[in-house]
Chains A and B, each alone.
Chain A
């Protein structure tokens, strides 16, 4: 199952990695901020435990798709006790590649979910 676009060998992304990337494309956030945003976006279907988040953050940092913000870079409203994470340009393009891959799959997924009624 190779990705049709790009040469990124990390595709497909796990639902967890993709969700974290998608949250961070909008704004820099911290541990529980990400948990809450992922839960809201998935309408409660994806509830992350703290361990899930930091594991994903570790992985994404290793791929240089996100990075931790330094104290000087913090947004104005940020709580200085928290550590904030922001997406990198490489992270944005990885998220985009995954989105394209999923979009290409849509027609076949549709057929699975809505078979033609006269087939049975």
Chain B
């Protein structure tokens, strides 16, 4: 009784929690007695009987105590006996108590319904949470939805706007001439090397123009922002704000960091402030420095320009304002093309870009899924209520009105749905972490918008969805329960099944089957899409290639000869390592971080008449690059003059470029150049295969590093090494240190890993649809089963009559199977039709998805038939075994 041993204590603790259902006064008064009664009951009923008995005991205990507690609290507040009043409130409590008792009696149904709803509502809430975060959450700026981003655009030949970063001249002009902004700032992304004992690193650094933190409404956590003098001086002020993470990493979170210096790229910056945690906007910045605009520079499209709209101004007004400014600018600057302009998007839209599609697609998928769960629960409830028709009949006979009965069923249903909603919220909270990967990059890396999960909006959504679903399903199920006169219900027999209600049931199951066909097909299509993507020929072989990024710091490798020397010795040193097959260097990693394009001029081709510059990707490479990446040489040779400095300038073009600009001709021997004053002509010496690069360009040309020893302006280069064993990458690193101990090496990665990362979004989509499809199929199966069980239960007498009149078990089996078979066939057909209709929607969401062919459809139909047959077999066999005597005699 005392329960002194461990498990007894835990039990007692648990029971005390359960007793909280009762008013405190009652608990205090009876505490000892309640606990000792509980102890006796446990000893008598459960001890030594195994976990099933224990589970049953607890289940009943919880249900009973909650019921008793509810009753107590109500009696306490009304001071009357339960039977006394007939107010709606007391009806509600009676309904609740009755509902709880029903659940206590059929835990199987309760668990099935709550879990089904939990999954449906949980998935929907989690995705809604993600959706909400992306489209509605507060951006970590002051009034972030009043911010717009400005970019330059050029109309392509297809009428599509190609957007570029903003040039300084335009930023200055817009800041001065606009009538719609309170202010405008420009941010210039770059990177800085931080030398350090043993851990040189390169971090993202952003130059920001005056008024940056006022415009965004962000202030440093520690220290101050830039003074007006510092802003006016620009980079020469030599001051910086640093990120919270950098502060922790390099200064151990020392509050005395203000005023200290940070060594960067040979120079130093004085730290004036530390930004708030997780604020890394823009470009995942870790360092912010003052930046001054050069009003004459109209060519450097490298600014991220953000402006705040004045009160009462909307994006359309801003667009009109920008059009006005740009046409004035065009008149003032002869030679400006007419199809250029300023592209205005809200900052939020700029963050979301294409990533919103995935979230929208998922939202559609979970909406379907929730619908499926609701259909299923309505079926389960209908099957449940039909077995209670007798009980309801008796209640009606004893004077319970139809409305009262309807309320009872609604109460039960709503209670189930609320429990399902609670389970769903828990699931949503957990799924929120998983779904974080669906957030656009900016939301995860630069802004502190938090994890989508349990928040007031999501909870409100879950509650509303649960209530709505509960009302609909409950009403549908109660419709059958309250319908019909007493005698009809009590004598449920013959033709009851062929009513309109049964047709609704059929329709529900057909809908369910159809939806699961759609989901299965969707999953199949997504998987197919993913498989093709992961197998797609990139034009090069990422497998076996390791990439290491090195940075030729400007002060140490200022002239081309110095760069050339170090890269040559690096290549030679790495190529001599055992296990290294090939080595090459490139300015652009085709699997990462975009491409690097410039306007190109082709000798003998007139410049495009519409003024659109011909933008093509160009990459600086060493001759070994092509062999390392296994990019085939289709014509000519790889930089034949590479070893002869001072010779004719050479380039290689890729197949797409060759086909597009020299159709039917041999490009070898033709000349091209970067369309900029002072750029020399270069001769095409070979054609190589085209590659699928991560950037926007589908054509490209290669310049030999040996004739133009430069990478990007910051000296960033990618060393590509084809290794026989990826464990050798440590040797590669060591070898680089031997060549130059101060050369920062960072972002070491296997190209195959980068490839997987690029594919992960698609894989995630495929896995998610497959998960939904699996649940969908499960629900459809349960739905089909519950409908058939319901029908067989409803028609027991009819089946009994048939058997009594001489029908065999096989006849009855056929009767049930025919009915079910018709549903499966109609459901599948409807599903296929729906899938066909939805296919173009999916194709709009996931670029490159192909229509499902018979190779996908037939197996899915086979699975559906098999599973459907299994679901129907149990009730069908039960029908075949109906004993005619019992069918008439029993209740």
Contacts and interface: CB of A to CB of B under 8 A. Distances in A.
Contacts of B40: 31-32
B490 A52 contact: no
Categorize the interface residue count of chain A. 20 to 34
B64 A32 contact: no
Contacts, number: 77
Interface in B716-757: none
A115 B393 CA distance: 13
B64 A48 contact: yes
Given A36-B44, A115-B490, A47 B64 contact: yes
Interface stretch (B67-75, B260-268, B868-876): B67-75
B33 A51 contact: no
B82 to A, nearest CB: 7
Contacts of B72: 55
A12 B41 contact: no
Contacts of A47: 60, 64
B65 interface: yes
B491 A55 contact: no
A119 B491 contact: yes
Contact of A51 (B64, B81, B399): B64
Nearest to B487: A119
B68 A55 contact: yes
- Residue in A51, A108, A115 with the greatest tally of chain B CB atoms within 10 Å: A51
A101 to B, nearest CB: 12
B535 interface: no
B155 interface: no
A120 interface: yes
B60 A115 contact: no
Contact of A31 (B21, B36, B67, B491): B36
Interface string B45-74: 000000000000000110011011101100
Contacts of B487: 115, 119-120
B673 interface: no
B397 to A, nearest CB: 5
Nearest to B491: A120
B47 to A, nearest CB: 14
Interface string B389-415: 000011001010000000000000000
Contacts of B81: 10
A8 to B, nearest CB: 12
Interface residues of B, number: 36
B19 A51 contact: yes
B13 interface: no
A91 to B, nearest CB: 16
A14 interface: yes
- Residue in B26, B36, B61 with the greatest tally of chain A CB atoms within 10 Å: B36
Nearest to B889: A117
B30 interface: yes
Given A31-B36, A55-B72, A120-B493, A49 B60 contact: yes
B397 A50 contact: no
A81 B2 CA distance: 12
Contacts of A54: 26, 30, 33-34, 37
Given A1-B399, A32-B40, A112-B394, A52 B34 contact: no
B83 interface: yes
A53 interface: yes
Nearest to A50: B37
B799 to A, nearest CB: 16
Contact of B34 (A50, A115, A117): A50
Nearest to A33: B40
Interface in A75-120: 81-83, 108, 112, 115, 117, 119-120
Contacts of B82: 14
B37 A53 contact: yes
Contacts of B540: none
Contacts of B21: 51
Nearest to A1: B399
A112 B60 contact: no
A112 B41 contact: no
A58 interface: yes
B697 interface: no
Contact of A112 (B68, B490, B888): B490
Contact of B41 (A32, A82, A117): A32
A38 to B, nearest CB: 12
A62 B69 CA distance: 18
B8 to A, nearest CB: 15
Given A50-B38, A112-B490, A83 B68 contact: no
Contacts of A49: 60-61, 64-65, 68
Contact of A52 (B64, B393, B397): B64
A51 B36 contact: no
A51 B44 contact: no
Nearest to A39: B45
Nearest to B486: A112
B102 to A, nearest CB: 14
Contacts of A115: 487, 490-491
B22 interface: yes
A74 to B, nearest CB: 16
- Residue in A14, A35, A55, A115 with the greatest tally of chain B CB atoms within 10 Å: A55
B69 A51 contact: yes
Nearest to B21: A51
A32 B44 contact: yes
Contact of A32 (B37, B67, B393, B888): B37
Contacts of A112: 393-394, 397, 490
B37 A31 contact: yes
B83 A12 contact: yes
A35 B490 contact: no
A54 B60 CA distance: 17
A63 to B, nearest CB: 10
Contacts of A14: 82-83
Nearest to B60: A47
Nearest to A105: B398
Contacts of A81: 36
Nearest to B38: A50
A81 B37 CA distance: 12
Given A31-B33, A32-B41, A53-B37, A58 B26 contact: yes
Interface in A27-42: 31-32, 35-36
A54 B33 CA distance: 8
B491 A50 contact: no
A84 B36 CA distance: 13
Interface string A1-45: 100000000101010000000000000000110011000000000
B435 to A, nearest CB: 41
B740 to A, nearest CB: 78
Nearest to B69: A51
Contacts of A35: 37, 41
Contacts of B44: 32, 36
A35 B71 CA distance: 19
Contacts of B34: 31, 50-51, 54
A119 B38 CA distance: 50
A10 B80 CA distance: 10
A44 to B, nearest CB: 11
Interface of A: 1, 10, 12, 14, 31-32, 35-36, 47-55, 58, 81-83, 108, 112, 115, 117, 119-120
Give me the 4 closest cross-chain CB pairs, A-B, nearest first. Answer: A49-B64, A32-B40, A31-B37, A50-B37
Given A112-B393, A120-B487, 10 more contacts: A32-B36, A32-B37, A32-B44, A48-B64, A52-B64, A54-B33, A54-B34, A54-B37, A112-B394, A119-B491
18 contacts: A31-B33, A31-B34, A32-B37, A48-B64, A49-B60, A49-B65, A51-B21, A51-B22, A51-B26, A51-B34, A51-B64, A51-B65, A52-B65, A52-B67, A54-B34, A55-B26, A81-B36, A115-B491
